[in-house]
């Protein structure tokens, strides 16, 4: 793949500027290619704060929060993670109709601990609904801080590199993120507002409604 020296984007590329998943097409079209949809964590799917900052938030914002006490990486801090409303529903839908993965700026160990914690938190695995919710958090391929580029503006993610490594066509690679400017292909960002813990937030539900059509 040849790249433009100025934009660093692939040459002869016609970028799709939006993504919709036709649920009827996915069921009937055997040639349908599942899009690879990356998911950022902090301020996109969840809000991650240091444990000592927990008291700064209203109590009702912390009802579904999970404590993450690192057991592998001594450099990681004790954190509180607040799930964004609609996170589980989005993961379930993506597992059915797309190929979801995590592409976030946290460490591999931290990402794994968070996803396992939320999987366990879904409830009794014997229950069918709880099992589906629990499974949504498991077996997700992960790119972490190691696959980001550290810039003056923050860690930048490269969908072009991901497409090359995963052998996906670039138009089949997307990311759900609250910081489009820190992705090399902003047009392939399914942008959502930054999340800071508000339980009334509905951004992910709106994304689901926009992304999936019947």
The rounded average pLDDT for each run of 10 residues, N- to C-terminus, in the chain (214 residues) is 56 64 77 91 97 95 92 75 98 96 96 96 85 95 97 96 94 97 95 98 97 89
Quote the pLDDT of residue 90: 98
Read off the CATH number of the domain in which 156 is found. Answer: 3.40.50.1000
Beta bridge partners of 154: 151
- 153 contacts: CB under 8 Å, gap ≥ 6: 181, 182
Quote the pLDDT of residue 33: 86
**Sheet containing 79-83: which strands, arranged edge to edge?**
46-50, 79-83, 66-68
Q: Rg (Cα) of the chain, in Å, rounded?
A: 18
Structural domain containing residue 39: 21-46+84-213
Does the residue 79 lie in any domain? Answer: no
Does the residue 68 lie in any domain? Answer: no
Does the residue 55 lie in any domain? Answer: no
Whole-angstrom Cα distance, residue 188 to residue 162? 13
Whole-angstrom Cα distance, residue 99 to residue 92? 11
Does the residue 9 lie in any domain? Answer: no
The closest alpha carbon to 115, from 81, 86, 146, 89, belongs to 81
Does the residue 73 lie in any domain? Answer: no
Quote the pLDDT of residue 75: 67
Quote the pLDDT of residue 5: 60
- Overall number of domains in the chain: 1
Does the residue 103 lie in any domain? Answer: yes
Does the residue 69 lie in any domain? Answer: no
Whole-angstrom Cα distance, residue 159 to residue 166? 10
Whole-angstrom Cα distance, residue 77 to residue 50? 7
CA separation, residue 126 to residues 82, 102, 134, 196 (Å): 25, 26, 11, 33
- 198 contacts: CB under 8 Å, gap ≥ 6: 61
Does the residue 62 lie in any domain? Answer: no
């Amino acid at each position: 793949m040849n790249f433009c020296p100025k934009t660093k984007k692939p040459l002869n590329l016609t970028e799709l500027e939006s993504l919709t998943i036709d649920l009827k097409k996915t069921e009937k079209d055997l040639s349908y290619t599942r899009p690879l949809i990356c998911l950022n964590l902090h301020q996109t799917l969840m809000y991650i704060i240091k444990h000592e900052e927990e008291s700064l938030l209203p109590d009702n914002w912390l009802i579904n929060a999970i404590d993450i006490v690192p057991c592998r990486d001594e450099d990681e801090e004790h954190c509180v993670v607040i799930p964004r409303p609609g996170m589980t529903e989005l993961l379930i839908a993506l597992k059915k109709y797309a190929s979801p993965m995590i592409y976030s700026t946290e460490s591999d160990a931290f990402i794994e601990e968070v996803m396992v914690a939320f999987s366990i938190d879904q409830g009794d695995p014997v229950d069918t609904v709880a099992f589906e919710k629990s499974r949504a958090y498991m077996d997700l391929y992960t790119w972490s801080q190691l696959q980001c580029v550290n810039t003056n503006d923050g860690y930048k993610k490269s969908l072009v590199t991901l497409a090359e490594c995963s052998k996906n066509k670039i138009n089949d690679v997307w990311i759900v993120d609250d910081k489009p400017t820190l992705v090399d292909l902003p047009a392939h960002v399914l942008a959502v507002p930054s999340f800071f813990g508000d339980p009334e937030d509905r951004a992910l539900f709106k994304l689901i409604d926009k992304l999936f059509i019947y």
